[in-house]
């Protein structure tokens, strides 16, 4: 039976957390589910007014091989990062135990992660690796099995389904985009940050429900 683990890690224990520089106005959110293989470039949002300082600090972190700003919105920016495969820490420990990263966010106080493992054995192995690698994780909650609300056969909330449908209708997913995150936020009557969160969590759920998360994680 699958196991979902929610845990926290101090900001100082992670490259991106350190790059926040203790600024209370900055925070980080994953843009979508990211199979944590070293060949995958995770996408994340930085929220706050000082993007350039974060960018400069993060590029100096040995755990980050490349970092690119790929989109900017009011009070935020979307980044793409490629990690150093030799760096051992939280993400490497998740990878080494075949975990699937469902959610991750950080501010100056620390990181909050949610990871799904195939079974309790993988979960135990992950905790052992974190201890061995001096990752100061603190478990918040452990859940087993599939949980969550449904929407038309998938575990989407109504808000996530609405955001995904509006994004598709307005051309947010086309190349080039026909709508910006701000325009999508205006359409839904919420903030760009809230839209990004709903899209990220909705995409993560769809990847899980269709089985693509597991396929990508082993490639």
Beta strands at 64-73 and 76-83: parallel, antiparallel or unpaired: antiparallel
Q: For residue 190, is it within any domain?
A: yes
Q: How many CB atoms lie within 10 A of CB 35?
A: 22
Q: Is the dihedral of CA 140, 145, 149, 155 positive or negative?
A: positive
- Let me know if residue 151 belongs to a domain: no
* 23 and 126 assigned to the same domain: yes
| Angle, helices 181-188/158-170, rounded to nearest 10 degrees | 130
Are 82 and 35 contained in the same domain? yes
DSSP letter string, 153-214: TB---HHHHHHHHHHHHHTTTSSS-SS-HHHHHHHHTS-HHHHHHHHHHHHHHHHHHHTHHH
Same domain, 106 and 214: no
- Are both 136 and 170 inside the same structural domain? no
pTM of the model: 0.66
**Is 100 a member of any domain?**
yes
Question: How many domains does the chain divide into?
Answer: 2
Of 144, 179, 210, the last residue of a domain is 144
**Torsions phi, psi for 198 (to 5 deg):** -65, -40
Pair (19, 108) in one structural domain: yes
Q: Does any domain span residue 152?
A: no
CA distance from start to end of the chain: 23
If asked whether residues 140 and 188 sit together in one domain, one would say: no
- Token pair for residue 34? 């990211």
Mind listing the pLDDT tens digit of every residue in the chain (219 residues)?
789 899 999 998 888 999 999 899 999 987 754 444 444 457 888 998 889 999 999 999 998 999 999 888 878 898 988 888 788 888 888 888 988 888 888 888 899 988 889 899 999 999 999 999 999 999 998 888 655 544 455 677 778 888 899 999 999 988 888 888 899 989 888 888 888 888 888 888 787 776 655 544 444
Say yes or no: 206 and 167 in one domain: yes
Write out the residue range of the structural domain in which residue 199 sits. Answer: 158-218
Q: What is the pLDDT of residue 204?
A: 80
Do 163 and 140 share a structural domain?
no
Residue 41 has a pLDDT of 54
What was the pLDDT predicted at 38?
Answer: 47
**Residue 150 lies inside a defined structural domain of this protein:** no
The pLDDT score that the predictor gives to residue 215 is 47
Helix (H) or strand (E) run with residue 139 in it: strand 138-144
pLDDT at residue 132, rounded to an integer: 93
Q: Is residue 53 part of a domain?
A: yes
By C-alpha distance, which of 9, 11, 29 is closest to 21?
Answer: 11
- Count of CB atoms within 10 A of residue 12's CB? 12
Do 48 and 99 lie in one domain? The reply is yes
What token pair was written down for 73? Answer: 């919105």
Do residue 135 and residue 107 come from a single domain?
yes
């Amino acid at each position: 039976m699958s196991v979902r683990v929610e845990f926290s890690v101090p900001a100082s224990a992670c490259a991106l957390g350190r790059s926040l520089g203790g600024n209370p106005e900055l925070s980080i959110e994953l843009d979508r589910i990211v199979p944590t293989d070293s060949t995958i470039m995770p996408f994340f949002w930085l929220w706050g007014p000082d993007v350039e300082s974060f960018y400069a600090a993060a590029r100096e972190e040995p755990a980050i091989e490349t970092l690119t700003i790929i989109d900017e919105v009011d009070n935020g920016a979307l980044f793409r990062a490629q990690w150093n495969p030799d760096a051992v820490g939280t993400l490497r420990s998740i990878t080494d135990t075949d975990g699937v990263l469902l959610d991750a966010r950080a501010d100056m106080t620390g990181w909050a992660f949610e990871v799904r493992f195939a079974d309790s054995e993988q979960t135990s192995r992950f905790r052992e690796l974190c201890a061995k690698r001096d990752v100061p994780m603190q478990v918040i909650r452990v859940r087993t099995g599939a949980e969550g609300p449904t929407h038309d056969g998938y575990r989407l909330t109504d808000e996530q389904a609405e955001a995904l449908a509006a994004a598709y209708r307005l051309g947010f997913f086309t190349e080039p985009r026909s709508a910006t995150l701000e325009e999508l936020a205006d359409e839904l009557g919420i903030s760009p940050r809230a839209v990004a969160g709903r899209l990220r969590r909705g995409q993560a759920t769809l990847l899980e429900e269709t089985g693509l998360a597991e396929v990508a994680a082993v490639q």
